[in-house]
Amino acid sequence: MKAPKYQWQPTTVEIAAAAGITPEQVERFDHNTSPFPTEWAPAVAAASLRSLNEYPGADYRTLRIAAAELNDLEPEQIAPGAGADELILLCGRAFLDRGDSAVAATPTYPLYEISTLQAGGVFQPVPAAAPDFDYPSDQMIRAARDADLVWVCTPSNPIGNVVAPDTVEALISATDGLVVVDAAYAEFAGADWSKQVENHHNLIVLRTLSKAFGLAGARVGYAMAHADLITAVDGVRPPGSISSISVDLAQAALGASTAMNKNVATTIAARNDLGVMLGSVGLRVLPSETNFLLCEVGPHAHDIARHLMEAGLVARKFPVDGPLRDYLRFTVRTQQAHNRLITELERCLP
């Protein structure tokens, strides 16, 4: 069975050309990235630019140390990767054999299914019920008992809700397999995870610098787990998948958590304001502990997304044959971008 292909959105340049605007006028409400520009990055990257003829250090020891210090762990409990995406794929390769089963609450990030199928495993979805898509705790715990791997996305993408800590503990206890927690949005929910990593030998937690740290373009993430699980991930990790420039940027960002926390607080306040604005034009806004909002728009959701795209505003829409066909997702951006979004929504909403 072939794994499904990950569906990418059009590029900013393509969207600008279609809308007849400049790329700078395009607002990406679909990528869940940070609205804060990395004006500090050129100075950090300058040293790396002088030695691009050489490969980065193969073990990424300094990056492991920086991530370990931030999370009060040991470097041997950290595995670096090219974003959480690479680490999701590596977990499938490292811990699933052909015919093994993996479960996840759906709708969820599609890469879990792709990783499972690429490893020859069987992906078993556990649907959450519309219209709120609350986490199906009881069903997931039952499914975890027979699973070789349990995918948990908390806070959830694309819903935005958090899996209760008691539920995560129950999932870890229920399975003889591995629980992989994708905590890409953990900073927005105030989640730490280091204690859980220390306490459980069948838990891997994935973190990324793409969201709260604002380094989506650098493609850096890391896994946290007991050393034996990290060794297994390292065993399937390709050499040099993180560039020297990205390593330097990541180390600088990990050492500047105060600035990150300030940006997170600003983002949360802006998210709350955006939720009020979206509600004022008639959308039902689901609760979120991330940097995005999922909204129930109705059967015209794809028409609304098309209108916004023509204006250079890119909302995240979902397959017409799926449970989120009537929903759109909006990333927190700047106040100016939010005002522009609301103006366009007022024009096109029925």
The pLDDT tens digits for 199-214 are 999 999 999 999 999 9
Tens digit of pLDDT for each residue in 242-291?
999 999 999 999 999 999 999 999 999 999 999 999 999 999 999 999 99
Q: Which of 13, 25, 8, 33 is nearest to 312 (CA)?
A: 25
Non-local (6+) Cβ contacts of 208 within 8 A are 83, 84, 184, 220, 221
- Model confidence pTM above 0.85: yes
Q: Give 205's strand partners.
A: 181, 224
Tens digit of pLDDT for each residue in 31-49?
999 999 999 999 999 988 9
What is the overall mean pLDDT for the chain?
A: 96
Give the tokens for residue 251: 């180390």
The pLDDT of residue 151 is 99
Average pLDDT for residues 5-25, to the nearest whole number?
86
Average pLDDT for residues 303-321, to the nearest whole number?
95
Tens digit of pLDDT for each residue in 184-194?
999 999 999 99
3-class secondary-structure state, position 181: strand
Phi first, then psi, for residue 173 (nearest 5°) are: -75, -30
Non-local (6+) Cβ contacts of 243 within 8 A are 56, 218
Provide, rounded to the nearest whole percent, the portion of the chain with pLDDT above 70: 99
The pLDDT of residue 18 is 85
Lowest mean pLDDT: which of 4-13, 42-51, 53-62? 4-13
CB atoms within 10 A of CB 74: 15
* In the predicted structure, residue 163 carries a pLDDT above the cut 90: yes
Q: What is the C-alpha separation between 167 and 151, in angstroms, rounded?
A: 13
3-class secondary-structure state, position 145: coil
Q: Which of 85, 223, 203, 84 is nearest to 150 (CA)?
A: 203
Kindly give the pairing relationship between strand 203-208 and strand 149-153.
unpaired
Average pLDDT for residues 85-111, to the nearest whole number?
98
Widest CA span of the chain, in angstroms? 57
With tokens 């900013």, the residue in question is 12
The pLDDT of residue 144 is 98
The pLDDT of residue 2 is 66
The pLDDT of residue 1 is 54
Band of the pLDDT at 10, cuts 50, 70, 90?
confident
The pLDDT of residue 148 is 98
Tens digit of pLDDT for each residue in 218-242?
999 999 999 999 999 999 999 999 9
| CA–CA distances in Å: residue 29 to residues 23, 171, 282, 340 | 14, 33, 18, 12
The pLDDT of residue 350 is 82
Band of the pLDDT at 339, cuts 50, 70, 90?
very high
Domains for the chain: give ranges and CATH numbers. Answer: 12-30+258-348 (3.90.1150.10), 50-255 (3.40.640.10)
C-alpha dihedral, 339 to 344 to 346 to 348, nearest 10°: -170
